[in-house]
Amino acid sequence: MRSLPLTERVAILDSFMTKTEHFRRVMQIDGRIGRRSDKWLKMINYTYAEVKITRDTDFGWLAQQNGRPVGVIELAVSANHRKAFYRIAQNIVTGEDKNFVYVKPLITARIRMRNWHKSEMMRTPEFVQFVV
């Protein structure tokens, strides 16, 4: 469909799209650049993953998936979740240096993120919950 003119692509889209409570086409983009309207609603299509927490730092937790690092979880971790992590982590520490506390990869967390980078790292990971 990319080879079709924009007007034809929009017509095809309109032929099967119906306005619902949650979705509607708000404007037709015709190649002109303009300012965003305050009526636009930005929706992020989050991706979810389960990761192991293997390291604690001053700014977040290092996450691993399939044995390799995939990012640092530093967003959306509540004080209660931090306390729960530290209670468990005390018993599974494998090492420590001036920057990190290393723990066995036994704690699993559900993460939401914007997507995966090409480097296979998480883009803006946010803590959702621990997986028991």
Using CA atoms, how far apart are residues 32 and 27, in angstroms rounded to an integer?
12
pTM, full prediction: 0.64
In sequence order, the β-bridge partners of residue 111 are 49, 127
pLDDT of residue 10: 79
Percentage of the chain modeled with pLDDT above 70: 85
pLDDT band of residue 34 (cuts 50, 70, 90) is low
Does the pLDDT of residue 104 top 70, yes or no? yes
